[in-house]
A = this chain, B = another copy of it.
Amino acid sequence: MTREQLFHQIMTKRSFLCVGLDTDIKKLPEHLKSLPAQEAIFTFNKAIIDATAPYCIAYKPNLAFYECFGVEGYAAFEHTCRYIRENYPDQFIIADAKRGDIGNTSQLYARSFFEHLDVDAVTVAPYMGEDSVKPFLGYEGKWVICLALTSNKGSHDFQLCTVDGTEQRLFERVLTTAQTWGTPDQMMFVVGATQGQLFEDIRKVAPESFLLVPGIGAQGGSLQEVVKYGMNSQCGLIVNSSRAIIYADGTENFAAVAAQKAKEVADEMSECLKALD
């Protein structure tokens, strides 16, 4: 998917919501818990996807929730990606994998996600530098989403260090350096929504890039603040919500409630998008 196509999707659906498919088997409704893991996970995901697809433009399964069931979990992950691709071809699929390795190995990860699974984007950790990220950039229409400033407490440990005797912090160095590897048409950045005030700093060094914002909802970020500081002329934001949508209800009615929650977020986003009409 190109940046223009993504922007078109956002303006058509009046939403820049990404639903995080962090499918934790312990949190599934009771009637699904008795199923084998692979079936439970996929059945839950399918119901969530079918219910929320009108209100979001992206899905983001986090690999950890699948890998912890080994082969069965991995199969559920693949099945989920294929289901979205076949039934909702306009949805942007983000494999939240936070991968990154030496060049030849990152190449294999890229092949896995972009050829084998055909997802649109993969999250990548920048610590190992250019050759760990570049192999993911060799696929037309596919995206790297590079960690810059994450939403967790530990983000303070290294990401906020200033570097090389300047005022520049590590996450800003990552933003500026990574933009020499790939353009805003092939690379986005993860920016945690709990870091509202820092969005302004980020837009100074990455004005055009799309930002994937993971911290709305359960992680505590405010949509209004993210939009105020982070939105650009092509929206430039994909805002993720996982738990607040997919676990909003623990009964057999979970999918309908998830849809309602997704719609509420989309309605708020629709208001924000009026600025771009």
Contact = CB atoms under 8 A, between A and B. Distances in A.
Interface of A: 22, 24, 62, 64-65, 67-71, 74-75, 78, 96, 98-103, 105-106, 108-109, 111-112, 116-117, 125-133, 147, 150-159, 161-165, 170, 173-174, 177
Contacts of A69: 112, 116
A159 B173 CA distance: 12
A180 to B, nearest CB: 10
Contacts of A131: 152-154
A189 to B, nearest CB: 13
B65 A105 contact: yes
Nearest to A22: B105
A65 B161 CA distance: 34
B170 A163 contact: yes
Nearest to A106: B64
Contacts of A116: 68-70
Contacts of A111: 68
A91 to B, nearest CB: 20
Given A75-B71, A125-B127, A62 B101 contact: yes
A116 B132 CA distance: 28
Contact of A127 (B65, B78, B159): B159
Given A163-B170, A170-B163, A129 B152 contact: yes
Given A162-B164, A163-B162, A101 B102 contact: no
A105 B61 CA distance: 12
A112 B70 CA distance: 7
Name, among A108, A131, A133, the residue most crowded by chain B CB atoms within 10 Å (CB to CB).
Answer: A108
Contact of A64 (B22, B112, B153, B163): B112
Nearest to A102: B152
A167 to B, nearest CB: 10
4 nearest interchain CB pairs?
Answer: A129-B154, A129-B157, A68-B112, A161-B163
Nearest to A243: B104
A258 B48 CA distance: 50
B152 A132 contact: yes
A65 B96 CA distance: 18
Contacts of A170: 158, 161, 163, 170
A102 B193 CA distance: 14
A127 B158 contact: yes
